[in-house]
């Protein structure tokens, strides 16, 4: 009965410990800053959705809400407004139902900020609600962001003095908290207002200060934003040629970070810059790229804007053609001029039709590429999900082996020891048999541990294998054997790895060879040498022991087991031995 209560107590504390571990891991993942992350948005989406499942499994409300919020943020970067609002509302519901006021206040502010381009009235409603909650609770870590975001709403409505007031309030709290990651946002917001006020030099100065901090903390998305913002200042100053290089620096970073909204906006700014320079072909090119990304406006409006740029482009070409025709018509009569006008008019129409056909073909080709990438992404995500499930199953089986079979074997050893003690001096033969069973059980436990070690790894490196072989030698030396050992590893591929099944089979072959050299060959020296070449993995185990007749090789269970494991590895195993001349075992496995 005592044992029963002990196990209940152990399980209770174990459950509490594992739950605390899970909560800590969930909070750690939710704390990943999407803006500063080096991962693409698609990868982050998989991570946060898996984290949401983990939080739901243990009913961890704060973790569930934060996961919803992070998923909404990622959809915002992907310009999916519908899903962004959907997941934000789910998070708000969790925070309010569980009295998580700082989280609710912060998210209300974030929702208002996210809706600023879609619905300014609703954006101000959510922003005021979040600001009121944060001020009532004096949540400094929420107020700095909310003041800054509220300033953005004021700036978009042309209330520049109010925007400057809230930006400065936000900066004061950021500096008070010594929050380095928050400084670039405050600097960028101040820079934007100064630019609109016509103080272009001060505006660029603040944008450069923000970019310098983001480079230190490796905020790639923020760096891309600052490049676009500096370009906007030059564009507002009427210097489109100086703005273009900054837009071009922003695009590759935004593309690598999968920051689709910024790519869309930067393409629009490039189109405007080239338009101001009257380079209508480049303006049309970048507007087409902008239109591909812009999914929040109607297709009719997009078509109108594209048509306007096409008219400008065609007009410019036709004006050039007319100038050429006038020079030729001056030397020809009326009939020739009419004929030339007809020819050139037809040619111009053909060029325009050809250009339109090429644009339609390019757009369709780009759409097909996007569909192909989406399909490849779905396949990759399915593979990741399958691998995760296999990993969970493998870990569950290894825990069952360790917790159930391992504990039962340990109990058998303890029972055999107690039984041997109770027998006293009587039944010497029985005690010897009990000792043999106990020894066999201990060996079984060690082999079980080796198996669990392999199962707990997706792959086994040469270093792992070398460490495990060193463990065999340490055990042998602890028994008092006088045999000397030498282990050498030579590899030209530093990152080479085996699968878990290959690793355990190679380890078992080495273990059997070393044990045979110690127990039966009575060797004074045993050498284990492993080598990885470009095409082959080589293992040689040699000893200077008694050796044996070659004809006896087939009769040994240990040697047969070694051959079977080699066959499972698709490897070649050679065993050479002569009485008094030692034994050499050579395993050679081709690498695919």
CB-CB contact of 196 with 160 (8 Å): yes
The strand pair at 572-577 and 583-590 is best described as: antiparallel
d(CA 127, CA 296): 22
What number of other Cβ atoms are within 10 A of residue 135's Cβ?
14
- Shortest CA distance to 291 belongs to which of 276, 272, 306? 306
Look up residue 112 and give its two tokens: 């208002």
Residue 208's pLDDT band, with cuts at 50, 70 and 90, is very high
In a domain, 535, yes or no: yes
212-239: average pLDDT:
90
Calpha distance 278→272 (Å, rounded): 10
Nearest to 588 by CA among 524, 530, 501, 526: 530
Whole-Å CA distances, 7 to 4, 396, 402: 5, 20, 16
Residue in 62, 70, 161 with CA at minimum distance from that of residue 110: 70
- Beta-carbon contacts of residue 219 (< 8 Å; ≥ 6 apart): 35, 36, 181, 184, 213
pLDDT value at residue 540? 92
- pLDDT category of residue 533 using cuts at 50, 70 and 90: confident
170 HSE (CA, 13 A, CB side): 27
- Total domains in the chain come to 1
* Pairing relationship of beta strands 484-491 and 536-543 according to DSSP bridges: unpaired
Give the pLDDT of residue 372.
Answer: 85
pTM of the predicted protein model: 0.41
- Domain containing 497: what range? 462-590
pLDDT higher than 90, residue 246: yes
Adjacent-strand bridge partners of 470: none
Asked if the structure places residue 540 within a domain, the reply is: yes
pLDDT band at 127 (very low <50, low <70, confident <90, very high): confident
Q: Which two tokens stand for residue 134?
A: 């944060």
Report how far residue 54's alpha carbon sits from residue 29's, in angstroms, rounded to the nearest whole number: 11
Cα dihedral value 181, 185, 187, 192, nearest 10: 170
> Phi, psi at residue 291, to the nearest 5°?
-65, -35
More confident residue, 336 or 310: 336
Classify residue 121: in a domain, yes or no.
no
pLDDT averaged over every residue in the chain: 78
- Which helix (H) or strand (E) segment holds residue 462: the answer is helix 462-478
What percent of the chain is predicted at pLDDT more than 70?
74
Take residue 379 and report the two structure tokens written for it.
Answer: 């396949």
Q: Is the pLDDT reported for residue 304 higher than 60? A: no
Cα Rg of the chain (Å, integer): 37
The count of residues in the chain is 592
CATH number of 481's domain: 3.30.565.10
Residue 585 lies in a domain: yes
Lowest-confidence pick of 17-26, 431-440, 523-532, 577-586: 431-440
Question: Of the given ranges (195-204, 428-437, 461-470), which has the lowest mean pLDDT?
Answer: 428-437
Confidence tier at 52 by pLDDT (50, 70, 90): confident
- As given in the structure block, the two tokens for residue 209 are 């200060």
Q: Report if residue 318 sits inside a domain.
A: no
Token pair in block for residue 589: 């496995």
Beta bridge partners of 583: 543, 577
* 569 located within any domain: yes
The Cα–Cα gap between 363 and 292 comes to: 8
Q: Which residue has the higher pLDDT, 212 or 444?
A: 212
Give a yes or no: residue 447 inside a domain: no
User: What pLDDT sits at residue 1?
Assistant: 43
* Domain-embedded: residue 197: no
């Amino acid at each position: 009965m005592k044992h029963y209560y002990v196990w209940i107590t152990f399980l209770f504390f174990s459950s509490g410990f594992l739950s605390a571990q899970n909560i800590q891991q969930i909070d750690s993942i939710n704390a990943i800053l999407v803006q500063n992350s080096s991962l693409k948005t698609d990868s982050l989406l998989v991570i946060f959705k898996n984290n949401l499942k983990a939080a739901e499994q243990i009913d961890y409300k704060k973790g569930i809400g934060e996961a919803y919020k992070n998923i909404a943020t990622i959809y915002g970067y992907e310009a999916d407004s519908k899903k962004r609002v959907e997941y934000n509302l789910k998070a708000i519901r969790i925070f309010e139902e569980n009295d998580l006021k700082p989280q609710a206040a912060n998210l209300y502010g974030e929702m208002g900020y996210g809706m600023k381009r879609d619905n300014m009235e609703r954006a101000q409603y959510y922003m005021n609600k979040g600001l009121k909650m944060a001020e009532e609770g004096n949540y400094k870590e929420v107020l700095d962001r909310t003041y800054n975001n509220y300033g953005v709403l004021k700036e978009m409505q042309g209330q520049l003095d109010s925007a400057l007031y809230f930006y400065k309030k936000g900066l004061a709290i950021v500096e008070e908290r010594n929050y380095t990651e928050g400084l670039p946002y405050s600097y960028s917001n101040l820079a934007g207002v100064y630019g609109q006020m016509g103080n272009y030099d001060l505006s660029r100065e603040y944008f450069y200060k923000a970019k310098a901090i983001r480079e230190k903390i490796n905020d790639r998305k923020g760096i891309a934003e600052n490049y676009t913002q500096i370009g906007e200042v030059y564009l507002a100053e009427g210097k489109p040629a100086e703005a273009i290089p900054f837009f071009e620096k922003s695009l590759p970073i935004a593309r690598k970070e999968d920051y689709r909204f910024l790519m869309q906006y930067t393409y629009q700014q490039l189109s405007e810059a080239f338009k101001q320079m009257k380079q209508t072909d480049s303006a049309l090119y970048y507007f087409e790229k902008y239109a591909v990304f812009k999914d929040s406006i109607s297709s009719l409006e997009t078509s109108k804007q594209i048509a306007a740029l096409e008219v400008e482009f065609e007009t410019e070409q036709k004006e050039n053609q007319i100038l050429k025709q006038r020079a030729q018509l001056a030397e020809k009569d009326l009939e020739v001029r009419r004929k030339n006008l007809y020819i050139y008019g037809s040619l111009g129409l053909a060029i325009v039709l050809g250009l339109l056909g090429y644009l339609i073909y390019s757009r369709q080709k780009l759409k097909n590429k996007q569909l192909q990438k989406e399909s490849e992404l779905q396949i990759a995500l399915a593979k990741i999900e399958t691998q995760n499930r296999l990993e969970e199953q493998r870990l569950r089986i290894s825990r069952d082996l360790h917790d159930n079979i391992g504990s039962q074997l340990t109990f058998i050893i303890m029972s055999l020891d107690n039984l041997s003690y109770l027998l006293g001096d009587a039944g010497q033969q029985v005690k010897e048999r009990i000792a043999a069973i106990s020894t066999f059980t201990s060996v079984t436990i060690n082999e079980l541990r080796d198996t669990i070690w392999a199962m707990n790894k997706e792959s086994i490196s040469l270093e792992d294998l070398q460490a495990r072989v060193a463990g065999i030698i340490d055990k042998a030396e602890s028994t008092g054997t006088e045999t000397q050992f030498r282990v050498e590893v030579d590899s030209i591929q530093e990152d080479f790895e085996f699968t878990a099944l290959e690793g355990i089979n190679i380890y078992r072959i080495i273990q059997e060879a070393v044990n045979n050299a110690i127990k039966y060959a009575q060797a004074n020296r045993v050498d284990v040498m492993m080598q990885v070449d470009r095409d082959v993995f080589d293992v040689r185990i040699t000893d200077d022991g008694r050796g044996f007749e070659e004809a006896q090789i087939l009769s040994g269970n240990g040697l047969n087991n070694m051959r079977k494991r080699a066959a499972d590895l698709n490897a070649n195993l050679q065993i050479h031995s002569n009485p008094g001349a030692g034994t050499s075992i050579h395993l050679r496995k081709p690498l695919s």
